[in-house]
Amino acid sequence: MNNVVTVELLKNKVNTYMKKDWPIILKAYNFAKKYHSGQKRESGEDYIVHPLTVAYILSEMKAESSVICAALLHDIIEDTKVTYQDIEKNFNHEIAYLVDGVTKLTHLNFNNQDEFQASNIRRIIVSIREDARIVIIKLVDRLHNMRTIEYKKEERRREIALQTLEIYVPLAYYIGAYKIKSELENISFMYLKPQEYQDLSNKLSNIYNGNKKMLNKMINDTKKKLNSEGIKCQLRIRYKDIYSVYKKMITNGMELNNIHDLLGIEIIVKNIRDCYLTLMIIHNMYIPLNYKFKDYIVKPKTNMYKALHTTVFGQNDRLVQFQIRTKEMDKVAEYGLTSYWFKNKSLAKEVMQNDLENNFQFFKSIEELDSTIVDNIEFVRRVKEELFSRNVYVRTTSGEVLELPYNATPIDFAYKIHSDIGNTMIAAVVNEKMVPFDYKLQNNDRVRIICDKTVFVDRTSWISMAETTHAKKKISEYLKDNK
């Protein structure tokens, strides 16, 4: 969004879904405007433009009023004389709590800049254990800062862009906020590798423009067929984000024209039954590339993304990926956890946290790292290596997908399932073949752990074979208890 956000625009957006809460939001705006008075951004704009824009982006996601207020006030403790107690007195405990959660720590009691920065990053990451809304506000805060990053000096731009890719993009992915994730990735890529960005952008524009007519014909033909079968649907073209394309080319060594999901069509239907009926119809209309079919409805991604993905041969044998999902799945695909704001704002916080704790694998990993590692710099390093870097996705014998860090072994797999599995493991079978304990797991490996409580296995070397902090901790505890 290039235009400057005004309080009138925010009011109009808020009034579309919670008109009765506008008075407290306006109060927060006036409060922030008063105390940020005279402060300027590097762009030369009044500082209030930043929190106002953050609040507006959150209102587009239909955030609750306490979150909108916290967004308006999110820099006020850090940048003015206003205190936590002032916010609590003028508003309420919840708004003050959210503002405090988003506020950076001060340099007080830190020996150097690295420790200070690591402490603030840790504060952001672990806040998700108590309230995911804090992370969401920080992500949107970073999003607006990235949108206006051109006003920073070049060295600072690259530093911020790199941190965004390393910390904020993975956080957005883990909570399913694909829309935020994609924009953060693309802006970061543009400033970190401007020439590669421009070259790839030009190539993709040519491909997309050259195939628009073909995609529109496929949409018209598919919609006509689905309607004739009584399936109400919405269809739209999906172009793959530039950074996602770049990652596939670099990570997998792929040529641009060999990326199977470069061109795509999204189909939104009424219910799950219609998803599978649509899939059947598409496979009757177009020849499918069978090994590229994914059922994320039966087995959702680790961030709860759901859809059916199938790649087919379109006109002139051009590969086109169809993504089929319901309206509810579509909201989750775009907004992740924040999609709960579209359903029931009064229960959103509780449902978000409950869903995180029970269904999102990374939540337990954050808990484990936070409770195990005291040093902030080491904590950030392990989070980057174990959670935010390249991951592998392996399956249990029942088909459940587990997410593990790159270079993880069957030892990490066993302890991720349960410490008792790790402590009684005597062998590991991957894809029906026995493997050594230091075998490096690969994507789509199917892993079976053989356990026997009566058989002794020397585990003294397992700590060096394990990749995850959780596994290393459990092995150390086992060795200590079985001296």
* Three-class DSSP category at 19: helix
How far is Cα 73 from Cα 67, in angstroms, rounded to an integer? Answer: 10
Q: Can you give the pLDDT at residue 346?
A: 67
One domain for residues 235 and 188:
no
In a domain, 382, yes or no: no
Q: Rounded to the nearest 5°, which phi and psi values hold at 454?
A: -90, -10
Q: Return the ∠ at Cα 11 (arms to 327 and 353), rounded to 5°.
A: 50
Which of 192, 225, 252 is a domain's end point? 192
Range of the domain at 252: 194-336
Q: Can you give the pLDDT at residue 1?
A: 43
Q: What's the token pair of residue 338?
A: 């924040």
One domain for residues 50 and 137:
yes
One domain for residues 318 and 406:
no
**Which of these, 455, 465, 467, 462, lies nearest to 477 by C-alpha position?**
462
In a domain, 255, yes or no: yes
The residues annotated as belonging to the active site are 78-79
In a domain, 345, yes or no: no
In a domain, 33, yes or no: yes
Q: What's the token pair of residue 117?
A: 């920065």
How far is Cα 265 from Cα 236, in angstroms, rounded to an integer? Answer: 6
One domain for residues 156 and 180:
yes
Rg (CA), the chain: 24
One domain for residues 13 and 129:
yes
> What is the CATH classification number for the domain harbouring 442?
3.10.20.30
The DSSP letter of residue 425 is E
β-pairing, 319-326 vs 263-269, is parallel
One domain for residues 33 and 161:
yes
In a domain, 364, yes or no: no
> What is the CATH classification number for the domain harbouring 139?
1.10.3210.10
| Structural domains counted in the chain | 3
In a domain, 383, yes or no: no
Q: CB neighbours (10 Å) of residue 328?
A: 15
One domain for residues 151 and 234:
no
Q: Can you give the pLDDT at residue 55?
A: 97
> What is the CATH classification number for the domain harbouring 228?
3.30.460.10
Q: What is the largest CA-CA distance in the chain?
A: 73
One domain for residues 223 and 121:
no
How far is Cα 256 from Cα 46, in angstroms, rounded to an integer? Answer: 43
In a domain, 374, yes or no: no
Could you say which residues of the chain have pLDDT below 70? 1-2, 105-111, 345-347
Q: Are 70 and 58 in contact (CB under 8 A)?
A: no
Dihedral sign, Cα of residue 187, residue 188, residue 193, residue 196 = negative
One domain for residues 34 and 127:
yes
One domain for residues 175 and 199:
no
Q: Can you give the pLDDT at residue 161?
A: 93
In a domain, 234, yes or no: yes
Helix count and strand count (H, E) for the chain:
23, 11
Which of 336, 352, 372 is a domain's end point? 336
Which of 336, 354, 374 is a domain's end point? 336
**Which of these, 301, 304, 324, lies nearest to 312 by C-alpha position?**
324
One domain for residues 91 and 140:
yes
One domain for residues 147 and 289:
no
